[in-house]
Structure 1
């Protein structure tokens, strides 16, 4: 027994002697202590945690070559190779911050994003369809955001002193030609595509990625839904028409098909119109969307392919009064047929690679009768793109892409048997690198190149963005870049070798999201060069050149609050734009009619549980539109009264699968004027007769019943938004 005790004592003494002490301190790259760090020898039970001052001490009985693992939340793990020979080991360990995409800073200068994957959501599709006054129109809802201007006699998207043609629209990364319905002069149009089609959007008011081009002011990228939630049928019965949509979902694939018909004649027979309609606008559309997902659980490779096709037709006939003429004026009849289709894909190739791209074709055909003249216009755009993105690390990635555009446009005067047309090919390459210095600092640099066969011009446009995140106090972003754009087709048809106009953007942004409140403030300066100019009328321009120039500068603010008032979501927008440009037929720099100096909006949505209803109101305002009065010296010397529109809406759910929506725009009946038209020749007294350009009616009323047919009878048309 005595021998046994002696042996145990000797063994314990040996183990104590064999223990090796490992101690040190763990800090970040700035030397700040990191507490609670997990420190252990790999493959053993020997380990410890760092103290509040970052120090640690541990003992081990291991010897030889060992691996010490150091792990901390928010930092990249480190493995350190040690040679343990029984002597104390002292270590000073510095950890690199881990880049967490959910918490890291993002570029917000000029950018407003919405989607499930973004923490800084601005407008989701649900916001669009429930915004009072938008009537489900994507563009109308975006006009409540900062940087935009409402131009009531047009209906398209005007951004920071830029013309509507300066905004490019994309679906799943592929450009859409003629994204707005065809219309006649001073009759507003709307976006062709339903908000229900999209899961999110990227709306840039400037300084956007090198991936997008041929747009001097703005890019709007819309992303379609991936896989719907369930099989369902959606019935729409509206005051303007009706439609049906069927969705079929099976495993990793889905099919959606829809058809709609609209006719304003019954509505216009009940509500007095200011326009002299011979035939009220009517239209039909149908679309098919196919989606297929694939994936490999072993390799981690996965992808998605989508195919989308949209076709529609519309017609109208209107008499447009001529200033100084007692008759009905010019008779304009318009028939439009439009097709758009795209196929897009995304594929994760493993090892940090991501590939995406596709091809799209837009085909727009207008048959116009202007009094006795028959005019046919055909505009076609083909766009193909392939992009490769490589994540070299959690901090550094590179995007590399190639694009090809084939554009054609033709005009035919049937009475005179005359046709003029052009074909153009554009080739683009873009590269963009993103580097995270930390979760607080990111830099993005890009370069876009292009070549046009008709213009015989090659160009380079650099882009740059940087963002820095403060300690729980939001972030600052700065963006700058050069942008190029060819003139619109209706101008290029007169001079097909016109080269690019140019714009340079500078944007400084502050952005914060906290406790369901969003605040965004942005200052911008945009310089224009080589804007197109001509002599005479826009319908028959002469001496077309790129002699114009101009600028747009200002600030805008956006505040959204979902927290302060229970069951209420509201946002307030204000934009100041100081814009002047020499362009078109103007001989001096003028404030464009489409760029009011002051723009504001207020949107409020309140859910009343007891009524099962969503109440909404929106108010849009601007300081008035400039216009040219030939009875006075100078150019664009007058301005209309301020524009104002107060809209109301209510969405009532009598059953989970039934929605009744009623909305009214301009409920106060304000007579908004967007400018004045004048006679081309003076009267006997030497004065030019004029008439105001106003709204089609004092108010617009809409009522719709939306019924969803599904297995559980609980789904409705808001489920996928």
Structure 2
């Protein structure tokens, strides 16, 4: 009898459990309605659940009752939750569509007109270490970027020329703050360099056009340099070079770091040993002091301070065509200071605030025989931005900035002077909208006002990118850009207005497993360029009557994979640029815009020798110039520019680097143009002298020793 009672009890218990179970079923798809197999579905706080099959379907049972939360999780997609009532035997869940999560790893990147040099971006063209190891760059940031698409090598200048534009059309920024007089002052036909040490930066962003609404006052390009965050160790760095030397010392811990540097350069001993083409009275020489400090604030805040002061000079004789004498003595003395501080703070609700202030001061004392000219330029830049990530699909960057600018020219021997003071104010906003991980649209608007010219302007900009394959992206960028004329023109004619430019860019980027291929078509129009009568040294009747355009395409290929221990990249740029500007009465091809530009850089690592060997070769089809013995304007062109550079870096010890580099190894006599007499001789011929290189070659030897506790750190550690 007891057995019968037990059997009856178990029978009714199973029936109770059966009728107490709820069956849950449904189907899961992605945003396009395609089935998602392998999605985890479970009731929150329990072990009841299942996985979707190949058709996206799922079914499972639970004994839980009442209101429950159903969770859907799948790698790469946003998790979703749904409330259900488990007091029913059968629960048919409505179709669930999971939304793909957009992250830095899977999101498409806009590459039209944009090239990153960092370790942070997927679309990297150069890395920070490439800047200091490119043989032709000689450690100069701009020298490395001259091997990239869209740029032209102007060997007797040294500045950055982009897509048919003058070097003044490139804006240079450090941590988002504009740098005034970013290049060292030099004499005509003597190449200059950027003022800052490449070791300061963890990365750079270089745009060949269509750049962000955050940047303005540049018709062609923006070069944004990002300084390092906290240093990782205490160390000292000693540099002994063929042209000078220096020492840098870093103190660091988890919350703050500071680096102090001092350098002295003097080319006199070097030029006494190596034959020079120029007649130097006093070789170039300079000294500089630099401070870079970083301080963590609270949880997600960082304050940076960068300060630099330097002084230098040179003196050389410039021969004049048709004369036997040494020529005109050009004497230059320059002093320069730059200081900036900026603060970045990540706040709650995905807000990030940035605020900074920068000040640049430059003073040139120039002597041309008995004529003395003094020029002083000051630039203060104040900027605040707020960035908000509303979701992984929508973000915005909005800011305000003010420029306070002063420029003065003096003729001390004649007691004459002229000056300008300018206040520029800007508002900008830029929004990124990801339709999905494969498609992004970026729209921006930048408005500005000049107090001196009493002018307002508005620049709309838009760019987009679509991922056509796992490794390939198509990008498009378009926008309007304004730039006020250079100071030495505005100080003569205060009413000069902005020059204008419109950009159209179409780009394809392929990046996969050590191979990068980049191709880009572009068109750039110019309007309201500055023109004048007379000569550039003494312009008359300045006005905004110029115009022009530049069009062409770029090709870039980089390969770190195909040849063992070898990294190389090849660049070709075609630029067809014509503009009516300066003293020209018709559209001409500028002397700084060769049509065909080619470069190749290769670096090979030999582990057994602890060495890296590098080679750079640059070529263009020559520079236009005006020959008064022939009819027309810009009627002649030099022979092609060619330069081969080689380098060797050797690490005999982990903390010791020996670097040897030589530019223009083959000693090619590159000519950049000709200087003519203002009047013809008795035979009716305008006599000339070629403008060539300062020397057949430049040889650099550097020994870099790092002193640290573990004796393994070196100058490349933080790159």
Measured against the shorter chain, the TM-score band is: over 0.9
Q: 2: CA distance between counterparts of 1:109 and 1:483?
A: 16
**What is the aligned counterpart of 1:278 among 277, 281, 284?**
281
Contact 1:175 1:383 in 2 (8 A): yes
Could you tell me the TM-score, scaled by structure 1's length? 0.98
Q: 2: CA distance between counterparts of 1:567 and 1:214?
A: 42
Residue 255 of structure 1 pairs with residue 253 of structure 2 = no
Aligned to 1:526: 524
Q: 2: CA distance between counterparts of 1:209 and 1:274?
A: 43
Residue 80 of structure 1 pairs with residue 82 of structure 2 = yes
Residue 111 of structure 1 pairs with residue 109 of structure 2 = no
Deviations 1:526-563 (A, max 9, x none): 00000010000111111111111000000001111111
Of the structure 1 ranges 629-638 and 84-93, higher mean CA displacement relative to structure 2 is found in 84-93
Q: 1: CA distance between counterparts of 2:384 and 2:471?
A: 38
Aligned to 1:162: 165
Deviations 1:482-519 (A, max 9, x none): 00000000111100121100000000000111011111
**What is the aligned counterpart of 2:717 among 698, 716, 719?**
719
Aligned to 2:393: 395
Residue 100 of structure 1 pairs with residue 100 of structure 2 = no
Q: 1: CA distance between counterparts of 2:221 and 2:657?
A: 35
Q: 1: CA distance between counterparts of 2:149 and 2:7?
A: 84
Aligned to 1:343: 341
Contact 1:150 1:158 in 2 (8 A): yes
Q: 1: CA distance between counterparts of 2:248 and 2:176?
A: 25
| Pairwise CA distance, 1:28 | 0.8
Contact 2:169 2:220 in 1 (8 A): yes
Residue 223 of structure 1 pairs with residue 221 of structure 2 = no
| Pairwise CA distance, 1:61 | 1.6
| Pairwise CA distance, 1:13 | 1.4
SS of 1:266's equivalent in the other structure is helix
Aligned to 1:264: 267
| Match runs of 1:647-666 below 5 Å | 647-666=645-664
Residue 593 of structure 1 pairs with residue 591 of structure 2 = yes
Q: 1: CA distance between counterparts of 2:204 and 2:74?
A: 36
Contact 1:216 1:485 in 2 (8 A): yes
| Pairwise CA distance, 1:11 | 1.2
| Pairwise CA distance, 1:467 | 0.3
Q: 2: CA distance between counterparts of 1:231 and 1:631?
A: 64
| Match runs of 1:136-151 below 5 Å | 136-151=139-154
| Pairwise CA distance, 1:447 | 0.2
| Pairwise CA distance, 1:125 | 2.2
Aligned to 2:67: 65
Q: 1: CA distance between counterparts of 2:128 and 2:75?
A: 35
| Structure 2 CA distance for partners of 1:548 and 1:257, relative to 1, 3 Å | same
Q: 2: CA distance between counterparts of 1:251 and 1:649?
A: 37
Q: 1: CA distance between counterparts of 2:326 and 2:679?
A: 18
Contact 2:219 2:500 in 1 (8 A): yes
Contact 1:173 1:357 in 2 (8 A): no
Q: 1: CA distance between counterparts of 2:104 and 2:714?
A: 33
| Pairwise CA distance, 1:112 | 0.2
Aligned to 1:15: 17
Aligned to 2:317: 319
Aligned to 1:299: none
How many pairs align?
Answer: 716
Q: 2: CA distance between counterparts of 1:95 and 1:291?
A: 43
| Pairwise CA distance, 1:29 | 1.5
Q: 2: CA distance between counterparts of 1:411 and 1:23?
A: 81
SS of 1:12's equivalent in the other structure is helix
Contact 1:214 1:486 in 2 (8 A): yes
SS of 2:143's equivalent in the other structure is helix
Aligned to 1:552: 550
Q: 2: CA distance between counterparts of 1:473 and 1:349?
A: 34
| Pairwise CA distance, 1:413 | 0.1
SS of 2:587's equivalent in the other structure is coil
Contact 1:321 1:327 in 2 (8 A): yes
| Pairwise CA distance, 1:87 | 3.5
Q: 1: CA distance between counterparts of 2:345 and 2:525?
A: 39
| Match runs of 1:624-639 below 5 Å | 624-639=622-637
Aligned to 1:420: 418
SS of 1:96's equivalent in the other structure is coil
Deviations 1:246-273 (A, max 9, x none): 0000221001000000000011111111
Aligned to 2:609: 611
Aligned to 2:193: 190
Deviations 1:573-607 (A, max 9, x none): 00000000000000000000000000010000011
Query: RMSD of the alignment, in Å?
Result: 0.9
Q: 2: CA distance between counterparts of 1:86 and 1:416?
A: 100
| Pairwise CA distance, 1:188 | 0.8
Q: 1: CA distance between counterparts of 2:11 and 2:48?
A: 23
SS of 1:139's equivalent in the other structure is helix
Could you tell me the TM-score, scaled by structure 2's length? 0.99
Deviations 1:633-689 (A, max 9, x none): 111111111100001000011111111110100000100011111111111111111
Residue 502 of structure 1 pairs with residue 500 of structure 2 = yes
Q: 2: CA distance between counterparts of 1:626 and 1:422?
A: 34
Aligned to 1:474: 472
**What is the aligned counterpart of 2:639 among 638, 641, 644?**
641
Residue 369 of structure 1 pairs with residue 367 of structure 2 = yes
SS of 2:264's equivalent in the other structure is strand
| Pairwise CA distance, 1:364 | 0.3
Q: 1: CA distance between counterparts of 2:76 and 2:390?
A: 20
Residue 239 of structure 1 pairs with residue 237 of structure 2 = no
Contact 2:21 2:89 in 1 (8 A): no
Contact 2:232 2:253 in 1 (8 A): no
Contact 2:113 2:208 in 1 (8 A): yes
Q: 1: CA distance between counterparts of 2:265 and 2:469?
A: 52
**What is the aligned counterpart of 2:700 among 693, 699, 702?**
702
SS of 1:122's equivalent in the other structure is strand
Deviations 1:75-120 (A, max 9, x none): 1111111123324222311111111122100111000012222122
Gaps of 5+ in 1: 297-301
Q: 2: CA distance between counterparts of 1:236 and 1:456?
A: 50
| Pairwise CA distance, 1:63 | 2.5
Contact 2:20 2:89 in 1 (8 A): no
Deviations 1:426-468 (A, max 9, x none): 0000001110111100000000000000010000000000000
Q: 2: CA distance between counterparts of 1:203 and 1:172?
A: 13
Q: 2: CA distance between counterparts of 1:689 and 1:423?
A: 42
Aligned to 1:134: 137
Residue 288 of structure 1 pairs with residue 286 of structure 2 = no
| Pairwise CA distance, 1:216 | 0.1
Q: 1: CA distance between counterparts of 2:452 and 2:604?
A: 54
Q: 1: CA distance between counterparts of 2:436 and 2:78?
A: 11
